[in-house]
Chains A and B, each alone.
Chain A
Amino acid sequence: MDWYPLYNSLRIAAISTGIIFFLGIGAAYYVAKAPRLVKGLLDVVFTLPLVLPPTVVGYLLLRVLGPKRIVGAFVLEHFDLKLTMTWWSAIFATTVVIFPLMYRTARGAFESFDETLADAGRTLGRSNSWIFWRVRMPACRQGILAGTVLAFARALGEYGATSMIAGYTPGRTATISTTVYQLWRTNDDAMALRWVLVNLAISAVVLLAVNLLERRERREKPAWY
């Protein structure tokens, strides 16, 4: 059995989760503090990928990154680099698709954060970045952790946009989800089932990890809390 799709899926999911960890938290922090009108507008834009069909996301990405489109053509001409149909092209797709998951869970966590803690930090002479990393992030840890895991799981399963922008080339751009589709299409039912089981196993492990983390979190608090 060729394990390349597993390896490729994991690295794509890991890299895009790493990217949206910072992008999503940054966007959530900004939107949570923004004035109402800006907030409403940005919220729609940032959440849109969650409700759009992945094929629509793929189409829009190709409109921008395709070799004859504005960004794609520019990069091709100046860096001699094709943005589509490589293994890392899928990162564009997964990043866009999972961004709303991270953004929304982080925003929820930030909005339930007790702002008097930040005020206290400031009157004590602490810098805003100290407050962010030492008080706000730890207090929102659970929400952010949940968002990260959810985003990773979703990135692992991304199919629609990935298949459009990275295609399916065995040993190069194949991921678990595109491989399952390809195997099913070519009537290789036994192989398809194997990959389905691999996928199920990974998802189960991820969800189990979330539950364990949550339980440990609860144990840290005193019994009477």
Chain B
Amino acid sequence: MVLSVDIEKTLGDFHLRVRFEAEREIMALLGPSGCGKSMTLKCIAGIQRPDRGRIVLGERVLFDSEAGINLPPQKRHVGYLFQQYALFPNMTVEQNILAGARGGTRQERRATVAEMVRTFRLEGLEKLRPSQLSGGQQQRVALARILAGQPELLLLDEPFSALDEHLKWQLELELSDTLKAFPGGVLFVSHSRDEVYRLCDTVCVLTEGKSDPKETIKELFAAPATLGAALISGCKNISPAEVRPEGLFCPDWGVTLRTAQPVSDRTRYAGIRAHYFTLEGEVNSIPCRVSRVIDNVFSTVVMLSTPGPGLLRLELDKDRWAALGEPRELTLYIAPEDVMPLTE
């Protein structure tokens, strides 16, 4: 299975331009809300029609604007898990799953339903309606309904957004098992870097409708290449940057930082993660003044004013901060390999 997507779509003043290829892997489309993630999934499923481009799944062309091909959703064999699951409210659990079973005789479809009920531990719930189920049970029914049709590709649109916080963890573990057992490729849409980090192999970051090249999850968090990737991967300190012979000049912080990562003439920003600063070091020192201290649940966040006009955010364990004894001034160090040069 190779999914290849290269599409464009304009909606009002929003312009979607997405290009990526996915192998048989769990790939994330990661980006803030409104960046076009769901729109991309809808184009792949055939619910929305791109203006231009091509979508190929394995040997089959699902969409090709030049060749005039646009398969209806029914013929794409692409499973779509909707944000609110979209279970048919007038049907029982059993009928919902049966609606997803394709082909074969009536008996074979019945057998598929029975198998799905077992796989997703829905025994005893067969005759209930979706409104009588918990959020987690609804998600299991929705997955059972999709997998009953044996799709070649699975699209998951923010699968945990409809759930209470304390339910998410258990369901994430379950979903992780389901995804690993699924023979085809999986596209996982999310705005949560934590979910993506735990569940996915590779990631494609979307910023305002534009996609970055695909990278592995590890790459994204170790060395995000673009501003959008840095922001979505949770980088809290970002300054415009200028490449100079002695390093990256960051006007917001009024310092020039050496970096161990490659820079280019397209480098526009520098990023530093809030918990990567050290309080001792040899290079890249930044003299700061403590401006605010915020207590988090398990850590302390310190906002520091820098030689430049911008603030830096430092995050460290509560104990470590307490041991420092409320300093007014603090010199931060950042290792060159932790200074991330970023492109637009």
How many A residues touch B, CB cutoff 8 Å? Answer: 20
B90 and A119 form a contact (CB under 8 A): no
Q: Which residues of A contact B102 (CB under 8 A)?
A: 124-125
* Bound Cα distance from A125 to B132, whole angstroms: 26
* Bound Cα distance from A120 to B87, whole angstroms: 8
Interface centre among A116, A135, A221, A222 (most CB of B within 10 A): A116
- Our pick among B84, B131, B149 for the contact of A116 (Cβ within 8 Å) is B84
Q: Which residues of B contact A114 (CB under 8 A)?
A: 86
Q: How many contacts between A and B, using CB within 8 angstroms?
A: 63
B82 and A120 form a contact (CB under 8 A): yes
A117 and B86 form a contact (CB under 8 A): yes
Q: Which residues of B contact A117 (CB under 8 A)?
A: 86, 88-89
A123 and B78 form a contact (CB under 8 A): yes
Nearest CB of A to B154, in Å: 11
Q: Which residues of A contact B76 (CB under 8 A)?
A: 123
A125 and B90 form a contact (CB under 8 A): no
Interface centre among A116, A124, A141, A221 (most CB of B within 10 A): A124
* Bound Cα distance from A134 to B100, whole angstroms: 13
Q: Mark B83-118, 1 if CB is under 8 A from A, else 0.
A: 010111111000000011010000000000000000
Interface flag for B74 (CB, 8 Å): yes
* Bound Cα distance from A221 to B99, whole angstroms: 22
Interface centre among A120, A123, A138, A139 (most CB of B within 10 A): A123
* Identity of the chain B residue whose Cβ is nearest the Cβ of A122 in the assembled complex: B73
A138 and B90 form a contact (CB under 8 A): yes
A123 and B79 form a contact (CB under 8 A): yes
Interface flag for A49 (CB, 8 Å): no
Q: Which residues of A contact B87 (CB under 8 A)?
A: 120
Interface flag for A68 (CB, 8 Å): no
Q: Mark A111-132, 1 if CB is under 8 A from B, else 0.
A: 0001011011111111100000
Nearest CB of A to B144, in Å: 12
Interface flag for A225 (CB, 8 Å): yes
Nearest CB of A to B149, in Å: 6
Q: Which residues of B contact A221 (CB under 8 A)?
A: 131
Q: Mark A49-93, 1 if CB is under 8 A from B, else 0.
A: 000000000000000000000000000000000000000000000
Q: Which residues of B contact A123 (CB under 8 A)?
A: 45-47, 73-74, 76, 78-80
Q: Which residues of B contact A122 (CB under 8 A)?
A: 46-47, 72-74
Nearest CB of B to A175, in Å: 38
A116 and B90 form a contact (CB under 8 A): no
Considering the complex of A and B, which 6 residue pairs feature the smallest CB-CB distances, nearest first? A120-B86, A138-B90, A122-B73, A123-B80, A116-B86, A124-B100
16 extra A-B contacts, CB within 8 A, seeds A123-B78, A124-B146: A116-B82, A116-B84, A116-B86, A117-B86, A119-B80, A121-B88, A122-B72, A123-B76, A124-B99, A125-B75, A125-B77, A125-B149, A126-B74, A127-B74, A134-B99, A139-B89
Residues of A within 8 A of B (CB): 114, 116-117, 119-127, 134-135, 138-139, 141, 221-222, 225
Interchain Cβ contacts under 8 Å between A and B, 28 examples: A114-B86, A116-B86, A117-B86, A117-B89, A119-B80, A120-B80, A120-B86, A120-B87, A121-B99, A122-B46, A123-B47, A123-B73, A123-B74, A123-B78, A123-B79, A124-B100, A124-B102, A124-B145, A124-B149, A126-B74, A134-B99, A135-B88, A135-B90, A138-B90, A139-B90, A221-B131, A222-B132, A225-B131
